Amino acid sequence: MQRTILGRNRRCGAAVLAAALVLVSAWAGGAAGVEPFGAGERVCLVGDSITHGGSYHEFVWLFYLTRFPDREVRMINCGVCGDTAGGTLGRLAWDVLAHKPTAATVMLGMNDFGCGLYGPDKTADRFEKQRRERIEKHAGNMRKIVEKLKEGSIRVVLITPSIFDDSAELKSAKRAGANAGLGICAENVRRLAAEAGTGLVDFFSIMNRINREQQDQDPTFTIVGPDRVHPRMPGHFVMAYQFLKAQGLPAYVAKMVLDAGAGRVKEQENCEISDVRAEAGGIAFDCLEKALPFPVHKGARPALKWVPFMEELNREDLVVTGLGAGRYELAIDGELVGEYAAEALAAGVNLAGNDRTPQYRQALKVMTLNAERRSIEAGRLRDIAAAEHLFLKRKAGDPSDFETNKPFFERLLEENPQYNIRKRFAMSYLKNKPEEEKNRARVAQLTEQMYEANKPVRHRFVLRRK
């Protein structure tokens, strides 16, 4: 099967990708038994640069922070730029298991399948053999990772790799057939999840679908970036959406249904409504919502056109029937937040996207704290771990002492006067390693602050005819 899909590069490209997508379609649904994270869970996010520097897990944690304010979950970035499944095996003990996780997500493959082995100049049999070997090695190492994690009684969620965009009209080389090769890695991950009984989240399929749909209208569109590999914020938001959907998380922040004519509550979900009063053709009430709306970052909002996040995962519905025809002003805690027609209120207004409400502004504070936490973790702590893994080949029990390692990274700087990956990590290590414990303490402090800032409070809603 793999030889048929990969083929020779003279047969790669659109036809090969189509064949891979036929295989992918058999796995529609994208998830298998992905339990939501519970209170007290420690979740390690294992991956390569797309996890190391990415934001999909930042969005997932922000959802938990806002939707389940009393369910404390700790999510730990364990991505390493440039890493493979084989490389990850070598760092599991000190970089993942040391955190004593209760659950781990694993997304690897982008550096395993060998994108450099694809393209119009890669038609020889030796390239076909190398492609097949790389994919088989990825599958074997992924199986070993799952076995190691399960030995530690860690709940595993496998994630298919995000796509390599070899179809967009971009300046970078297309490497025809590369996404089909990566698609085989995704297929193998699905099989492993079924065989090993792990959870499964399918990033590959949804990103392929969106890419295909959007490129039908705009050939320059890509859900990833100009390098064809690393998703930008909208792509990461799609990934987070898929993850949350796979966990079957609820749509409602809160649902408030009232009859203004009778001055009563008709329905309430995930909230407590009290002190309801009919006032001058409108209605007033107190409400303690048990969650906060999810504040979608401005940079991620293009993704709202591609996935129904607001409809399926971010509903803060206010429904008011029994109103006379006309327009109504909504004030929360004495502050005007919107104006709506009676017909719209009767059908239901989703307040989750209204950035004028006090609930949204509170959620923004949580988002800001979470963004700072992610920045420190990804840009400083993970750079240290990546430098030690990629350049020092650190093993479990090895010393991680700055003074011991400092001369090595200073030599790297001298040997690489031009900016490259070696120079980048040498600079980052020398700057951030002395501050490692300080940065860990700041991450812990920010985590505590997030769980202080995310507690909902009671608000007074007043709806008056304009």
Helix (DSSP H) and strand (DSSP E) numbers for the chain: 16, 14
Here the CATH number for the domain that contains residue 315 is 2.60.40
Here the CATH number for the domain that contains residue 63 is 3.40.50.1110
Last residue of a domain, one of 198, 215, 246: 246
Q: Indicate the number of domains in the chain.
A: 3
Q: Residue 405: its pLDDT value, please?
A: 93
CA angle 355, 239, 160 (to 5 degrees): 170
Give a yes or no: residue 450 inside a domain: no
* DSSP annotation string for 107-142: E--TTTS-GGG-STT--SHHHHHHHHHHHHHHHHHH
Same domain, residue pair 191 and 298: no
Q: Is-contact 315 386, C-beta < 8 A?
A: no
Distances from the Cα of 111 to the Cα of 48, 126, 144, angstroms: 8, 19, 17
Please give the backbone phi and psi of residue 158, each rounded to the nearest 5 degrees, phi first: -85, 140
Which residue matches tokens 């940079």? 299
Q: Is-contact 425 383, C-beta < 8 A?
A: yes
Q: Residue 316: its pLDDT value, please?
A: 98
Beta bridge partner(s), residue 458: 288
Same domain, residue pair 194 and 260: no
Write out the chain's pLDDT in tens, 466 residues.
343 344 433 343 333 344 344 344 333 334 457 999 999 999 999 999 999 999 999 999 999 999 999 999 999 999 999 999 999 999 999 999 999 999 999 999 999 999 999 999 998 999 999 999 999 999 999 999 999 999 999 999 999 999 999 999 999 999 999 999 999 999 999 999 999 999 999 999 999 999 999 999 999 999 999 999 999 999 999 999 999 999 999 999 999 999 999 999 999 999 999 999 998 789 999 999 999 999 999 999 999 999 999 999 999 999 999 999 999 999 999 999 999 999 999 999 999 999 999 999 999 999 999 999 999 999 999 999 999 999 999 988 777 789 999 999 999 999 999 999 999 999 999 999 999 999 999 999 999 999 999 999 999 999 999 9
Identify the CA nearest to 295 among candidates 348, 357, 244, 249.
357
Tally of residues, the chain: 466
The range of the structural domain enclosing residue 275 comes to 252-361+455-465
DSSP letter at 31?
B
Q: Residue 3: its pLDDT value, please?
A: 37
Same domain, residue pair 258 and 224: no
Q: Residue 12: its pLDDT value, please?
A: 39
> In terms of pTM, does the model score above 0.75?
yes
Same domain, residue pair 264 and 313: yes
Same domain, residue pair 382 and 431: yes
Which residue matches tokens 């859900």? 223
Q: Residue 397: its pLDDT value, please?
A: 78
Give a yes or no: residue 323 inside a domain: yes
Pairing of strands 271-279, 315-321: unpaired
- The residues, ordered by sequence, that sit 6+ positions from 401 with a Cβ below 8 Å of its Cβ are none
Q: Is-contact 51 43, C-beta < 8 A?
A: no
Q: Is 328 helix (H, G, I), strand (E, B) or coil?
A: strand
Give a yes or no: residue 383 inside a domain: yes
Q: Which two tokens stand for residue 12?
A: 């790669």
Name the CA dihedral angle for 352, 354, 357, 363, rounded to a multiple of 10 degrees: 50
